[in-house]
Every structure is written in structure tokens, then in C-alpha cells.
């Protein structure tokens, strides 16, 4: 198979590079025990759901973290940014999962049509846009699909070898469902080996625009934890892939990676329980104040964040 230099680089240095480690058969149970033994003492009154955003909110400010847990703020409505995000992800799903090769414009149109058929909130947002605005959004998808194709080997042709899956939603239920960890991974490559069930064979990739951010590696470690609890074996590597540059941030998964992620989950569960039981949150102002529901009433909020 003929690959361009960027495609070959991604294949050789990200996807196919390095050994596929074998993990201990009891790793999943040890991770479950680590979280459940710490959280069981909290005596949760109702199921607690934790995703990467909850973990990131706790790292920013406990006030914002609590506000989101309590459901403060307006109901969700699509903005240009959120609609663009789901449209781009749907386009990659069409690109990776389609039986036929489409040109990027057809990929974008197919993605928007499917979203309008299946997601009412997106459909409402999309109908309110002028045709010119829709065309601008679709052209941005065309750009992202073009960048994706130029960065990765042809995944459609490598299905038997890589088993690509886009938008893989997974969750792990702990304590009989009282604690649920959930996430959706943009792209997973790799197939399990039946003869070696404890060998890591999957690569988890978050597709990103822009540049690196401090929370991205932590997001990936959380995904690795969910995949371990769900599939019984971790991915061998996790990576944030930046489409504009074709560069990536990658980390090979180890026991240490996974227990670090488990401890972050424990910290979030403990903080959530304590705050909901009356402990005053520690307030930490910053750029995130701009999207906190408590901006107008928080005594520590950065007033410039909402401007």
C-alpha cells in the first residue's frame, strides 16, 4: 500500500510503533477495588455519573464543579462551537464507517443529514442557520476530513487489520451502578488477539483542533481507565491528534497510568459527596468563570471572564 509521508509517519510512529504489552489478568479487578473501596464509604444517595468534564471542572474550581453537579444554568442549546463539534465527529464516523468512498463534500453533507434525522437539538439549530452559514459550516467539515485523510493511512482499506471504530461510547458501572464512569472516544484502532487475551492491542485517539491543552493527557488517561474496566485490558497507547499540524501527544499506558486515573475518580466522587453535604467549595477564579452559572454571584469570580 502506497502511503504519503505524513500517513507513513502516523502509521510507523504512532499506530504501529513499539511493543504491545501484556497486563496482569487481575488488573481490572484491582482497579475496581481501588475505586469501590474508597467510594463505598460515601453512601451515595443516588447514582453518580463522572465523565472527563466533571474531572476537569473539579481541577478548575469546586464552585463551578458543584454548580454543574446541581444542574444550575440554562438548559443545553447548541452554539456554533458545539454544533461544529458534533458535525465534525459525525463526519469522521461517515469517513471511517462508510462502505463507499465519498468525496469530502459528500461526507460533510451526509454527516449533516444524519444529524438532522437523529438529533432533534442539532436539527433545530441547523434549520435556523441561513444557507450561507450552513455552507460555511460544511466547508469547515470538508477541511477537517481533508486533514484527516492526509494524516492517517486509509482506514477503510485496513479494516481487517485495524478494526477502526469511531465515536466509541463506553461506560463502567461500579458499586452496582451507584458510580458510573462514561466517555466517548473519537477513534479506536486495533483488534484483540484471542490467543493472548491480556495483551493490549488498541490505540485510543482523541481528534483535536487547535493546540495542546493541559487537560488533554488527563482526559486520555480517564479513557484508558474506562476501556480497561469495560474490555478487561487497557489500550497500549492513548493520543491526542492535532489535525491542523498532523502532530500528536501520545502516552503508553501502564498500571501507573490507570491507578492515577482511578485516584482522580475517587477524588471527584469524594468532593462531590462532601460539597452536596454542605462543605463550602474552594473557589479558584480563572478563564472558566466565563461559563460558570455562578459568575454573577460568586465572590471570587474574575469579572473580566464573562466579557
Query: pLDDT grade, residue 17 (50/70/90)?
Result: confident
Q: Give per-residue pLDDT as tens, 200-226.
A: 999 999 999 888 898 999 999 999 999
What is the predicted pLDDT for the residue at 262? 98
Q: What architecture (CATH level 2) is domain 5-72+159-276?
A: Alpha-Beta Complex (3.90)
Q: What secondary structure letter does DSSP report for 233?
A: S
What is the predicted pLDDT for the residue at 306? 53
Domain boundaries, the chain: 5-72+159-276, 80-156
If one counts every other C-beta atom within 10 angstroms of the C-beta of residue 118, the result is 10
Q: What is the mean pLDDT of residues 64-73?
A: 90
Query: pLDDT grade, residue 107 (50/70/90)?
Result: very high
Lowest mean pLDDT segment, chosen from 170-174, 181-185, 284-288: 284-288
Q: In whole angstroms, give the CA distance from residue 117 to residue 123.
A: 7
Q: In whole angstroms, give the CA distance from residue 223 to residue 207.
A: 13
Q: Is 103 helix (H, G, I), strand (E, B) or coil?
A: coil
Element of type H or E holding 106: helix 104-118
Cell 483535536 sits on residue: 208
What is the predicted pLDDT for the residue at 174? 96
**Of 45, 55, 80, 37, the residue nearest 183 (C-alpha):** 55
Q: In whole angstroms, give the CA distance from residue 223 to residue 184.
A: 8
Cell 455552507 sits on residue: 135
Judge whether 182 and 170 are in contact, CB under 8 Å.
yes
CA angle (30 as vertex; 26, 31 as ends), nearest 5: 120
Q: Give per-residue pLDDT as tens, 257-281.
A: 999 999 999 999 999 999 998 999 9
Lowest mean pLDDT segment, chosen from 12-26, 71-85, 131-145: 71-85
Q: In whole angstroms, give the CA distance from residue 53 to residue 89.
A: 18
**Of 11, 5, 6, 9, the residue nearest 155 (C-alpha):** 11
Query: pLDDT grade, residue 77 (50/70/90)?
Result: confident
pLDDT at 127 over 60: yes
Q: In whole angstroms, give the CA distance from residue 94 to residue 105.
A: 12
What is the predicted pLDDT for the residue at 200? 97
Lowest mean pLDDT segment, chosen from 57-71, 91-105, 289-303: 289-303
What is the predicted pLDDT for the residue at 240? 98
Q: In whole angstroms, give the CA distance from residue 70 to residue 54.
A: 12
Give me the chain's average pLDDT, please. Answer: 93
Percent residues over pLDDT 70 in the chain: 99
Judge whether 179 and 47 are in contact, CB under 8 Å.
yes
What is the predicted pLDDT for the residue at 307? 53
What is the predicted pLDDT for the residue at 146? 97
pLDDT at 49 over 80: yes
* Residue 87 neighbours by CB under 8 Å, 6+ apart: 108, 111, 112, 115, 122, 137, 141
Q: What is the mean pLDDT of residues 133-151?
A: 96
What is the predicted pLDDT for the residue at 129? 95
* Residue 187 neighbours by CB under 8 Å, 6+ apart: 92, 96, 164, 165, 166, 168, 204, 205, 206, 207
What burial letters (b/e) apply to 29-45, b meaning 16+ CB within 10 Å?
eebbebbeebbeebeee
What is the predicted pLDDT for the residue at 76? 84
Amino acid at each position: 500500500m502506497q502511503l504519503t509521508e505524513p500517513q507513513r509517519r502516523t502509521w510507523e510512529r504512532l499506530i504501529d510503533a513499539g511493543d504491545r504489552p501484556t497486563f496482569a489478568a487481575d488488573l481490572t479487578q484491582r482497579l475496581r477495588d481501588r475505586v469501590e473501596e474508597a467510594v463505598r464509604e460515601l453512601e451515595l444517595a443516588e447514582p453518580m455519573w463522572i465523565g472527563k468534564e466533571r474531572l476537569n471542572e473539579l481541577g478548575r474550581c469546586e464552585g463551578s464543579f458543584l454548580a454543574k453537579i446541581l444542574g444550575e444554568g440554562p438548559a443545553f442549546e447548541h452554539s456554533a462551537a458545539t454544533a461544529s463539534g458534533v458535525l465534525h465527529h459525525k463526519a469522521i464516523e461517515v469517513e471511517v464507517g462508510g462502505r463507499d468512498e465519498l468525496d469530502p463534500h459528500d461526507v460533510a453533507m451526509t454527516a449533516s443529514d444524519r444529524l438532522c434525522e437523529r438529533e432533534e437539538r442539532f436539527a433545530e439549530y441547523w434549520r435556523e442557520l441561513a444557507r450561507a452559514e450552513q455552507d460555511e459550516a460544511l466547508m469547515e467539515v470538508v477541511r477537517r476530513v481533508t486533514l484527516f485523510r492526509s494524516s492517517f493511512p486509509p482506514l477503510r482499506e485496513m479494516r481487517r487489520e485495524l478494526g477502526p471504530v469511531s465515536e466509541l461510547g463506553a461506560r463502567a458501572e461500579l458499586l452496582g451502578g451507584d458510580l458510573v464512569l462514561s466517555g466517548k472516544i473519537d477513534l479506536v484502532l486495533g483488534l484483540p488477539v484471542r490467543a493472548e487475551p491480556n495483551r493490549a492491542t488498541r490505540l485510543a485517539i482523541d481528534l483535536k483542533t487547535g493546540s495542546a491543552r493541559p487537560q488533554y493527557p488527563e482526559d486520555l488517561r480517564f479513557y484508558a481507565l474506562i476501556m480497561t474496566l469495560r474490555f478487561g485490558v487497557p489500550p497500549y497507547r492513548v493520543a491526542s491528534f492535532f489535525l491542523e499540524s498532523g502532530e500528536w501527544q501520545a502516552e503508553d499506558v501502564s498500571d501507573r497510568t490507570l491507578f492515577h486515573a482511578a485516584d482522580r475518580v475517587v477524588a471527584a466522587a469524594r468532593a462531590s459527596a462532601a460539597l452536596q453535604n454542605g462543605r463550602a467549595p474552594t473557589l479558584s477564579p480563572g478563564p472558566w468563570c466565563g461559563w460558570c452559572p455562578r459568575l454573577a454571584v460568586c465572590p471570587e469570580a474574575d469579572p473580566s471572564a464573562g466579557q
